[in-house]
Amino acid sequence: MFDPLGFLSPFTVLGRMLVQDLWRTGCEWDDPIDGVSLEKWNRWTQILPEIGEIRVPRSYFGPALSSEIRNLQWHVFTDASENAYGCVAYFRAEIGGKVHCTLVMSRSKVAPLKQLTIPRLELQAAVLGARLAQTVQQNHSFKIEQVFLWTDSRNVLSWIKSDQRRYRQYVGFRIGEILSLTNATDWLWIPTKYNEADRVTKWKQGASFHSDSSWFRGQPFLSRDRGEWPEQPLISANTNEEIKVHLLVHDVTLSKLLIDVSRISKWTVLVRITACAYRFVSNCRRLLEGRPIETLKATKRQAMLLKGGNRKVKRNPLKQEEYQKAERYFYKAVQAEVLESKSKVLYNLDRPANQWLSV
């Protein structure tokens, strides 16, 4: 079928939806289709006689001259369902004191095989509508006074009116494209029953395609004054739908051993070496604080300083507390290696005692 302007989108999209349903069921080209698909096929073919009677005039506003057109408006309706999403656009103009509306073009797409949420599909429909609005405006010489883009999704309106950087990339990038093609103030809410784009997203009972239907002439409210259009609700600009989540992961890093224990064969020697390392750290702090350092056996230079009356170095053997500190260090190191997950819980007790985690 050749329908570049989408005059028959409510009809052709049903055929594409039917083909997609068959692909989902795994039906091959030569296989008979199931009963549900056959019923949909019969419903679809019953529309064909009415499609054959459709006549579309070459002029948007009949015999009216372009100089007679006043207050030309551009209205784009967008909608989505689980099966498809699309948009439809109309010109609304005042000619000879009367309001005339006419279909310009429409676009429809079946929903991806990978299931998306309804808000995301509504957002896709809004992107499609924004692209359609720009395309029509660029390819017409009419001077369009006002642009109106309609959606029945409050989530989409909230996303458009808020900071796009607050939301996930899927939403943020598409809102950025919408705002680059349209103005946020041009977007309005409409009840589903008045949304003409609803016809390109689902099977509807009693849908009519005759040339004077609302599909070709627009919704009746467009022929009335703006004060009689659907009332606009207060839309919050900070919806939590699809908001970006900042996840911070905190972990405890357990320190490695200061000494290579594989090079030492005796426990007593290992403990003594570790105690000497603690003594060295203590002496470094003592030097910074101006206190005398402690040494096991004075070196030649230290002995000369001691003989000279310098009291900054004093002989002091390793203490029992230093041996115990060295032993505890290795006890904790072994526990941290063998019981790593439980040790991390214990090391991460930066909370009140009544909120401690159990091991």
Considering only residues 343 and 4, tell me which one the structure prediction assigns the higher pLDDT: 4
Short-list 61, 81, 62, 58, CA closest to 72: 61
Q: Of all residues in the chain, what percent are helix, strand and coil, respectively (each to 5)? A: 45, 15, 40
Please give the Cα distance from 354 to 359 (Å, whole number). Answer: 14
Short-list 133, 57, 64, 137, CA closest to 94: 64
**166 belongs to a structural domain:** yes
Residue 198 sits in the same domain as residue 121: yes
* Range of weakest confidence among 156-160, 288-292, 343-347: 343-347
Residue 346 sits in the same domain as residue 218: no
Question: Given 208, 228, 248, which residue is the final one in a domain?
Answer: 228
Tell me the average pLDDT across 266-274. Answer: 86
Residue 211 sits in the same domain as residue 281: no
Question: Given 228, 251, 278, which residue is the final one in a domain?
Answer: 228
The pLDDT score that the predictor gives to residue 297 is 65
Residue 275 sits in the same domain as residue 184: no
**115 belongs to a structural domain:** yes
Is the pLDDT confidence value at 231 over 80?
A: yes
Residue 207 sits in the same domain as residue 302: no
Total number of domains constituting the chain: 2
Residue 327 sits in the same domain as residue 222: no
Tell me the average pLDDT across 332-349. Answer: 73
Please give the Cα distance from 189 to 242 (Å, whole number). Answer: 20
**248 belongs to a structural domain:** no
With bands split at pLDDT 50, 70 and 90, how would you rate the model's confidence at 66? Answer: confident
Question: Given 203, 228, 253, which residue is the final one in a domain?
Answer: 228
Query: Which burial class, exposed, middle or buried, applies to 271 when counting CB atoms under 10 A from its CB (0-12, 13-18, 19+)?
Result: buried
Contact criterion met (CB below 8 Å) for 295 and 235 = no
Residue 167 sits in the same domain as residue 285: no
Residue 134 sits in the same domain as residue 57: yes
Q: Give the SS3 label for residue 68.
A: helix
**240 belongs to a structural domain:** no
The pLDDT score that the predictor gives to residue 250 is 54
Is the pLDDT confidence value at 302 over 80?
A: no
**237 belongs to a structural domain:** no
Please give the share of the chain, as a percent, with pLDDT higher than 70: 85
Place of tokens 């103030």: 185
Average pLDDT over the chain, rounded to whole?
83
Q: Could you list the residue range(s) of the whole structural domain that residue 24 is in?
A: 9-228
With bands split at pLDDT 50, 70 and 90, how would you rate the model's confidence at 207? Answer: low
Contact criterion met (CB below 8 Å) for 315 and 279 = no
Residue 17 sits in the same domain as residue 99: yes
107 forms bridges with which residues in the sheet?
87
What's the token pair of residue 145? 């006074």
Residue 183 belongs to domain with CATH number: 3.30.420
Strand 98-110, strand 84-95: pairing: antiparallel
What's the token pair of residue 60? 């948007």
The pLDDT score that the predictor gives to residue 2 is 83
Considering only residues 355 and 5, tell me which one the structure prediction assigns the higher pLDDT: 5
What's the token pair of residue 183? 């103005």
Tell me the average pLDDT across 278-289. Answer: 83
Residue 14 sits in the same domain as residue 142: yes
Residue 222 sits in the same domain as residue 276: no
With bands split at pLDDT 50, 70 and 90, how would you rate the model's confidence at 77? Answer: very high
**249 belongs to a structural domain:** no
pLDDT in tens, 84-105: 999 999 999 998 888 999 999 9
The pLDDT score that the predictor gives to residue 332 is 83
**172 belongs to a structural domain:** yes
Is the pLDDT confidence value at 254 over 60?
A: no
pLDDT in tens, 162-185: 887 888 888 889 999 999 999 999
Tell me the average pLDDT across 244-268. Answer: 69
With bands split at pLDDT 50, 70 and 90, how would you rate the model's confidence at 142? Answer: confident
Please give the Cα distance from 130 to 87 (Å, whole number). Answer: 9
**315 belongs to a structural domain:** yes
The pLDDT score that the predictor gives to residue 65 is 85
The dihedral over CA atoms of 44, 50, 56, 62, expressed in degrees to the nearest 10, equals: -140
Is the pLDDT confidence value at 108 over 90?
A: yes
The CA-CA-CA angle for residues 196, 134, 167, to 5°, reads: 80
Residue 208 sits in the same domain as residue 351: no
Alpha carbon separation from 264 to 268, 271, 274 (Å, rounded): 10, 10, 11
The CA-CA-CA angle for residues 122, 127, 131, to 5°, reads: 145
